[in-house]
Amino acid sequence: MDAGHNEERRTIIQVKHLTKRFEKLTVLDDISIDFREHEVVSVIGPSGGGKSTFLRCLNLMEQPTSGQILVDGVNICDKHIDINRHREKMGMVFQQFNLFNNMNVIKNLTAAPVKLKKMSKEEAEDKAITLLRRVGLEEKVHSYPSELSGGQKQRIAIVRALMMNPEVMLFDEPTSALDPEMIGEVLDVMKELAHEGMTMIVVTHEMRFAREVSSRTLFLSDGHVEEDKPSHELFDHPESPRLVSFLQKVL
Amino acid sequence: MPFFKTVEKLIVNYGNFFTEGVRNTLIISASAVLIGTVLGALMALARMSQIHPLRWLATAYIEFFRGTPLMVQLMFIFYGLPMIGVTFPEVSFIPDFSRFMAGIVAMSLNSCAYVAEVIRSGIQAVDSGQMEAARCLGLSKKQGMTMVVLPQAIRNILPALGNEFVTVIKESSVVSVIGIADLMYRTNGVKAKTYNTLECLFVAAIIYFIMTFIFSKLVAYTERRMAHGRRA
């Protein structure tokens, strides 16, 4: 929240002139922005404003039409780069959880790190149990996704991303598909992550989370970053008329 | 009941004709499904390939074989191909080998087209978020396919593949027209010998039904077993 303090932190992701078009529709229009280590950034804005597309461009789940995305100084849009190695460093959590339906919880958590030789099976299982305990789900080790509630699935999806020891966590509307009474349990896990210093970029409709947990909030509308400020400032003193009218609608 | 008396007499006197027919029907059907499944899997891959000409060819193949009668395809392969110099070899210790081959090839090529669609739709029915999640963890497309998508697709594919086998058993009766001694061919033979047309067809129908019924029950059973839990 202290701008001077932020300057000293290492820049993890640098977005330069990012543009994304689908056919003739321009979803992201020349966006340039930096994300620093330990920052928690919320991305808010009207639906169709390009929030999810922006997030999905950061790990190249969407291919940018033009521009550069530098992760740790490496341009991941470069054709010669092994994108899989970069995705390991960027955990992603989806609106629809996307737990692997053919695997039980422990398999969901350990399959990728073991396959990609990040750790041995035993190490992965130990780590998985430790993380599951932290989100209060250690008794679900052998359950299948179909046996879990939405909130449980999402907490496990967060753990699955954490298993890879990511440098950044990307959240794509993580609570939008949840029943209201389950939103809290997922937000609590995210808050804890934020307090531990995880770098997080969160596309969200949860304005309280944006305001209270994230250090910085972006307002994305019509493919532009309309405002980019420390969260309290953005919510207390919105400048652009679009943000003012958006906040009036959602708050 | 003279009808059932005649049926009984047919089964007693000509039982070995029918059993030989059943054997050949099963040989042809099983070979066709087996070969059709292997080719169909490859065809499905081609159909979903990023390489445009390959995809186009596979699509054309599938559309053509599903859009023309099996009878025409069979005739084309058995009578047509030798006219342009393509013949199936004879093997001394298996009687009628080339005839059999023509039947199996036609049935396999036909089945391949249907199986390809079964496999493709089975894979595409798996939620795309599953592959996305795999890719986001740093897994390659191939790893995502083998670890996540295919195990789930199998659940859609296996029952449909079983149904394809049932269809092939029934459809295989057309090979009798090129003189393969399958159940239908044998039935016609017994019919010509005894003039008990109705009774012969009755026996054939019952035997076909028993084969398909057993198999579709098996399919239903595996389907139930696989449906346990595991699904989102």
Which CATH number do you get for residue B121?
1.10.3720.10
- Chain A: give the shortest CA distance to residue B52, in Å: 20
Q: Mean pLDDT across the stretch B84-100?
A: 81
Please judge whether B132 and A98 are an interchain contact, meaning their C-beta atoms are less than 8 angstroms apart.
Answer: yes
In this complex, do B232 and A116 lie within 8 Å of one another by their Cβ atoms?
no
Tokens at A160, concatenated: 């699955």
The span from the CA of A203 to the CA of A214, in Å, is 11
User: Tokens at residue A197, please?
Assistant: 């210093």
Question: Which residues 6+ apart lie within 8 Å of B18 measured at CB?
Answer: B11, B183, B186, B187, B190, B203, B204, B207
Q: To the nearest whole angstrom, how far is the Cα of B147 from the nearest Cα of chain A?
A: 8
Minimal C-alpha gap between A198 and chain B (Å)? 17
Predicted confidence at residue A49, as pLDDT, reads: 86
Alpha-carbon span A177 to A94, nearest angstrom: 10
pLDDT (0 to 100) of residue B148: 96
Instruction: Give CA separation, A64 vs A219, B38, B119, in Å.
Output: 20, 38, 32
Q: What is the per-residue pLDDT for A4?
A: 46
Per-residue buried b or exposed e for B222-231, using 16+ beta carbons within 10 Å of the residue's own CB: eeeeeeeebe
Look at B230 and A94 and tell me if their CB atoms are within 8 Å. Answer: no
- Mention every residue, 6+ apart, whose C-beta is less than 8 A from residue B179: B96, B99, B185
Pairing mode, strands A168-172 and A199-203: parallel
DSSP 8-state code for residue A178 = S
Residue B85 pLDDT class (50, 70, 90 cuts)? confident
- For residue A3, the Cα-to-chain-centroid distance in whole angstroms is 22
Instruction: Tell me the one-letter amino acid at A114.
Output: V
**Arithmetic mean of pLDDT over chain B:** 91
CB contact under 8 A, A87 and B138: yes
CB atoms within 10 A of CB A162: 21
- How far apart (Å, rounded) are the C-alpha atoms in residues A76 and A83? 7
The per-residue pLDDT for A1 is 46
B125 CB neighbours in chain A (<8 A) are: none
Phi first, then psi, for residue B53 (nearest 5°) are -60, -40
Which of B140, B143, B232 is facing A145, going by the closest CB pair? B232
Alpha helices in A70-201 (DSSP H): 83-88, 105-115, 121-134, 150-162, 180-195
A92: which chain B residues are within 8 Å (Cβ-Cβ)? 133, 136
The tokens for A238 are 């919105």
- C-alpha separations of A62 from A59, A170, B184, B210 in Å: 8, 14, 56, 53
Residue A3 has, within 13 A of its CA and on its CB side, a CA count of 6
pLDDT score at A5 = 52
pTM of the model: 0.83
How many angstroms separate the CA atoms of B223 and B229, rounded?
Answer: 12
Pairing of strands A25-36, A11-22: antiparallel
Q: What is the mean pLDDT of residues B85-94?
A: 79
In the predicted structure, residue B224 carries a pLDDT above the cut 90: no
pLDDT of residue A7: 53
Does residue B229 surpass a pLDDT of 60? no
Task: Name the minimum distance, in Å, from the CA of A212 to any CA of chain B.
Answer: 28
Q: In chain A, which residues have pLDDT < 70? A: 1-8
pLDDT band at B223 (very low <50, low <70, confident <90, very high): confident
**Sorting pLDDT into bands at 50, 70 and 90, what band is B2?**
confident
Helix ranges, A35-100 (H):
51-58, 83-88
Q: Would you say residue B160 has pLDDT above 70?
A: yes
CA B133 centroid distance within chain: 35
Whether pLDDT at B46 is above 60: yes
* pLDDT tens column, B120-154: 999 999 999 999 999 999 999 999 999 999 999 98
What pLDDT score does A2 carry?
47
- Domains held by chain B: number: 1
SS3 letters across chain B? CHHHHHHHHHHHHHHHHHHHHHHHHHHHHHHHHHHHHHHHHHHHHHHCCCCHHHHHHHHHHHHHHHHCCHHHHHHHHHHHHHHCCCCCCCCCCCCCHHHHHHHHHHHHHHHHHHHHHHHHHHHHCCCHHHHHHHHHCCCCHHHHHHHHHHHHHHHHHHHHHHHHHHHHHHHHHHHHHHCCCCHHHHHHHHHHHHCCHHHHHHHHHHHHHHHHHHHHHHHHHHHHHHHCCCCC
Residues of B in contact with A144 (CB under 8 A): 229-230
CB A63 within 8 A of CB A54: no
Using CA atoms in the order B114, B120, B126, B127, what is the torsion angle rounded to 10 degrees? -130
Q: Which amino acid is at A183?
A: I
Distance, CA of B33 to CA of B64 (rounded, Å):
19
Question: Which member of B137, B140, B232 has the closest CB to residue A101?
Answer: B232
Amino acid B88: pLDDT? 82
Residue A48: per-residue pLDDT: 84
For tokens 């029934």, the residue is: B170
Residues of B in contact with A102 (CB under 8 A): 148, 151-152, 230
Q: What domain range is B106 assigned to? A: 2-231
* Four-CA torsion A13, A50, A56, A229, nearest 10 degrees: 30
Range scoring the smallest mean pLDDT among A48-57, B64-73, B220-229? B220-229
